[in-house]
Amino acid sequence: MVRGRTSEERYIRKRLREARNGARAFCRCRKYPIDEKKIVFMNIEGTVGYGCNPKYICEEMRRRNVLRRENGETPYDLVWLVDDTSLSFPDDVRVVKNTLKNRVYELSTAAVWVDNSRKQLEVRKRPGQFYMQTWHGMIGLKPTGLDRGASFSRIAYIVSKHDSDMVDVMLSNSDFRDARLPQGMLYDGRILKIGSPRNDVLVRHDPAVRAAVRARYGLRPDDRILMYAPTFRGGSQKTERAIDKPAHAPDFERVIFNMKKRFGGEWYIFLRLHPQLTARHIGLEIDGGHLIDVSREPDMYETLAACDAFISDYSASIFDAAVMGIPIFLYVDDYRDYIRERGSLLIDFNDLPFPFAADDDDLASCFATFDEDKYRTGLMEMMKDFGVIEHGDASRKAADEIISHMEKYRQRGVVS
């Protein structure tokens, strides 16, 4: 135990030393003025591209830039920090390689930051800057932060506290989310309860989105889609079980067969793996080409908006998909291992309307006995109990908040 603590302490000292070195660069950049029209976006520390909550806020800002240009006004400078600059982005978003040097300059001179994960330890915010934290999941099963107990490491606490102390406003979509923020996010600041920007596309049920996704993958308008999107597993949990499918996945052939049998129609499975697993499992197939890997699509939510059913496990995305009212099933063949690794779930499966299965036979039974009326009633009760707010206008309200700050900053003429 002493050896373990010593090793952890050395690692923490190393991280803090590196952070102090990076922080000096942030301090030096204070000689540059803050650009009152610059907004810097990041998605999962720059490791993935144009997606999640920051994307939908950026899309709203792009729409407002069109109006600004028409009125002869200077548009907002929309900057996206990303590791891989070859990824696809709109032409009017300024894509910047996420190096330390670039990150320091762009963040130091921006009026607004929009992020969905923790800022690095070296990051320093200046007076007058505004940090909107959207996170990448509102309601969740998995414990985070202090809710993880002993599995929440000291360095994780330090990083989380450093980030939360800089946040000016945290987005929320529910009473459940509000109540969990102090423990789960180490945050007790201002909350903007407007919904999840990434869920706007799910709430709107746009037929054009459904048609576009089907056309992209060569499907017919009446073909039905089930998305399978498991969460990430690490640590002592297995990450491989078979070479022909991801670990802990159901039997895709049986899923197709049973979905046809219960719901009718021609079904396809969209496989959406966690970004950390994507590279391992591209090119999976089942008979008839009914399994389509969409893991490399930058935006899960635009694809999810076209789906007719959803399977996951411990992912917060089940509560996002629920706003669509589609059938959702949980496949959790490693429940005990997962709990041992992550700690007890925040919500008992039995308190949710989603049928859950521990193996392929259980899942087949879930499909066969699915009661749509009972399920829809359960969904409505869950949304009420959690105090969920999802009206399809979260992106607009988030943009309003950002512009309000930028206008106040301009009027104050803050100099740092």
Residue range 346-357: mean pLDDT, rounded? 94
Would you say the CATH fold of 206-386 matches that of 2-195+393-412? yes
- In the chain, where the domains are located: 2-195+393-412, 206-386
The mean pLDDT of the chain is 90
Q: Distance (Å, rounded) from C-alpha 304 to C-alpha 320?
A: 10
Residue 309 tokens, joined: 């059913």
* Whole-number pLDDT of residue 11: 94
The b-or-e profile of 142-164 (16+ CB within 10 A means b, else e) is bbbbebbeeebeeeeeebbebbb
pLDDT at 1 over 70: no
User: DSSP readout, 348-391?
Assistant: -GGGSSS-EESSHHHHHHHHHT--HHHHHHHHHHHHHHHT----
Residue found by looking up tokens 């300059």 in the block: 105
Reported as a single tens digit per residue, the pLDDT across 235-247 is 433 444 333 455 6
Reported as a single tens digit per residue, the pLDDT across 110-129 is 999 999 999 999 999 999 99
* Whole-number pLDDT of residue 242: 37
* Whole-number pLDDT of residue 334: 85
Residue 100 tokens, joined: 């330390």
pLDDT at 350 over 70: yes
Residue 7 tokens, joined: 């090793």
Reported as a single tens digit per residue, the pLDDT across 247-291 is 678 999 999 999 999 999 999 999 998 655 544 444 455 556 899
Burial of 206: CB neighbours in 10 Å, binned 0-12, 13-18, 19+: middle
> What is the pLDDT confidence band of residue 298, given thresholds at 50, 70 and 90?
confident
pTM value is: 0.90
pLDDT at 84 over 90: yes
At the second CATH level, the architecture of 206-386 is 3-Layer(aba) Sandwich (3.40)
* Whole-number pLDDT of residue 325: 97
Reported as a single tens digit per residue, the pLDDT across 373-405 is 999 999 999 999 999 999 999 999 999 999 999
Alpha helices in 245-296 (DSSP H): 252-263
At the top level of CATH, which class does the domain 2-195+393-412 belong to? alpha beta
Reported as a single tens digit per residue, the pLDDT across 183-221 is 999 999 999 999 999 999 999 999 999 999 999 999 999
